[in-house]
Structure 1
Amino acid sequence: MKEPTLTRMQESVSSLKKDFIEWSDALSVGVEEVDQQHKGLAQMVNELNGAIHGGWGKETRDDIIVKLLEYTRVHFATEESLMSISNYPHLKEHKKQHENLIDIVKAYVKKYNENPEASNYEFLFFLKRWLVEHIMKDDKLMGEYLIKTGSVKTKKPTSWWGGLRKPFGH
């Protein structure tokens, strides 16, 4: 086995610094509370990735998964409340997707409890794919509906010009 060179060690550290799920405006659904929660979910998946790659052990992995599961439930309750209040026409299907994810995560937890040596990467990549696809497809539709129906306030203007126009009544 080769000794790690400084270059290889730096490359390894730099690859750990890069987020597994990188947040961008492309993932925004336009609803501030939902976007903030999505950022939190992405950060927890990134934390899980760090734990797995860093070899932090089963206990740490399990703690992160429990925290992720609880936060996910809170997030889903937020979305489902917004959809219910606004009479979102796809609430039933959207809620079913949420329930399916919770069931899948519970199955992974059971798998890890039965076999602590089971691969974490399958779960990690599943979470990333599910979260990004769900946000890009289903949550964006929900966000558009909530904004179109006036059920939520849109984000504040991000440009300095947009911020200037508001005080002058434009």
Structure 2
Amino acid sequence: MEIVAWSDSLSLGISKVDEQHKRLIQMMEELDEAIRKNQGADAVEDVLTNLFNYAQAHFAVEEELFRKHKYPEMALHELEHQRFIAKAFAFKERLGSNKPGLALELLNFLSSWVLNHIELTDKRYAKYLRDCGVS
């Protein structure tokens, strides 16, 4: 599977969130490069740690917008974030086992999750927030 690439079709029309999504995708590209160039477990883990930390910061920004504007599906969206974090950290722990193909499996999970999350879940809140004046 190809990792997700940024395109205008992923834009939510909320500049801060779009910029963060672009950065997340860029970090996945960095992870893909570290894996494909066999840069070693430490390099992959460093990129992954940065990506997960950035994802958590991004989720916090979204969740603050939800609270500020009383987004009605806030609890459900936050639950998706929590599930992602739990699954991502479970993958990270398994990376230490050096199981062949696990890093690519993780990258596929990340790419698929980010694409589906933006296309399905984030686009639902984007209209609501834009209607509240967020841009």
Normalised by the length of structure 2, the TM-score is 0.95
Structure 1 ranges of 4+ moved more than 6 A: none
Match of 1:136 in 2: 119
How far off its partner does 1:138 sit?
Answer: 0.7
Choose the corresponding residue for 1:46, options 22, 26, 29. 29
Larger Rg: 1
Q: CA offsets, 1:81-101, max 9 Å, x none?
A: 001100000000000000000
Aligned counterpart, 1:62: 45
How far apart are the structure 2 equivalents of 1:71 and 1:133? 18
Matched position secondary structure for 1:20: coil
Query: Larger helix proportion, structure 1 or 2?
Result: 2
Distance in 2, Cα, partners of 1:43 & 1:21: 10
Query: Once structures 1 and 2 are overlaid, which stretch shifts more, 104-113 or 117-126?
Result: 117-126
Answer 1 or 2: higher relative contact order, Cα 8 Å, separation at least 6: 2
The whole-number CA distance in structure 2 between the counterparts of 1:20 and 1:123 is: 11
- Corresponding pairs, count: 133
| Structure 2: runs of 5 or more not aligned | none
What TM-score, normalized to structure 1? 0.76
Q: Which residue number in structure 2 is paired with residue 10 of structure 1?
A: none
| Amino acid of the structure 1 residue aligned with 2:50 | K
Number of the residue aligned with 1:102: 85
Same amino acid, percent of matched pairs: 35
> Tell me, what secondary structure is at the counterpart of 1:120?
helix
2:8 aligned to which of 4, 22, 25: 25
